[in-house]
Structure 1
């Protein structure tokens, strides 16, 4: 199956999840991540502010921030690359491009993700064998992940059934080291 058709299939499956199931999935994912010592000890975390049917990150971002981590969130640039700015509580966000909430703090540049001790990214699916993530096709997170060091934990947040086999990969596609689903955390690499 090609990427376009796979994306359509996954987006359709996500749309069929009830709000209650989405909420329950997000709580399980958040609890799983917050139970990991390497998540608890990460001083600088790059994350994202979820939208639509993505596993919700709002509670995760808030919990990380309340526990003392510095959380940076993406600011989508005109070329679809990601700049980064610090999250400083719910009042520090404003709608950005496409209405996605972004921090209003000073932008730190596209290379700020290099300094993160933990990087949490969105994905529609992740290949359980290779760790290749399937995003929405804009390449924003592939560029960001290309800047992350090889020993930094990178985690994609997924609903059940989105850790799959056979995601078509292209040279620019990046892998993640972990997938967090409602069933738990899977180490991929």
Structure 2
């Protein structure tokens, strides 16, 4: 029997992927600069000394400039590395951008691997998303890695998803295992939700 929520999610993800694929390069470059500025301000406002983030793909809102600048400023940045068991290992980012293709073809760091609990030490989590709604519910890309990580943390720090401005929606389909985020970062703004989690 087909799960109606799963069907809705698949359709929405396909639509959002298509939209992202059609963005011109100039718009991607401008978005990357905007995201970098917004993330810099967020890190400063949280007072974060250690953050987790992700290496953006060519169609995602760009995080690479932010990552390089953060590492050079002395911020400890953990990057996710996917595992076959559905958990995430972590590697400390360096400013030389040594990346390789990970389990699902996504860019991942090549440094020394830390176990899943390494993320418990960060002050701020920055996660990818397909979309986020006004209540802080995040639609991921369907593999559940970040939902599982956020849901298993005893003391979860603030979690912010990164999306394009058009990907803040009125509502996204949700399952019981889906974890909301505390805020969303776009190329033009950062929104903190009132009481999404905890």
Same fold (TM over 0.5): yes
- What does residue range 13-162 of structure 1 map to in structure 2 within 5 Å? 13-36=19-42, 37-39=44-46, 41-129=47-135, 131-148=136-153, 152-162=157-167
- The whole-number CA distance in structure 2 between the counterparts of 1:123 and 1:55 is 10
CA contact (8 A) 2:81 2:89 kept: yes
Compute the RMSD of aligned alpha carbons: 1.8
Q: TM-score, normalised by structure 1?
A: 0.91
Counting matched residue pairs gives 187
Q: CA deviation at 1:149?
A: 5.3
Deviation per residue, 1:41-76 (Å, 9 max, x gap): 311111111113111111111111111111110111
Unaligned runs of 5+ in 1: none
- The whole-number CA distance in structure 2 between the counterparts of 1:14 and 1:46 is 24
172, 178, 184: which one pairs with 1:179?
184
- The whole-number CA distance in structure 1 between the counterparts of 2:154 and 2:162 is 19
Deviation per residue, 1:65-107 (Å, 9 max, x gap): 1111111101110123211111122254333323433223222
CA contact (8 A) 2:92 2:111 kept: yes
Q: CA deviation at 1:150?
A: 5.6
Question: SS in structure 2 opposite 1:156?
Answer: strand
Q: TM-score, normalised by structure 2?
A: 0.87
CA contact (8 A) 2:68 2:94 kept: no
Name which of structure 1's ranges 162-171 and 147-156 shifts more when overlaid on structure 2.
Answer: 147-156
15, 21, 25: which one pairs with 1:9?
15
Question: SS in structure 2 opposite 1:179?
Answer: strand
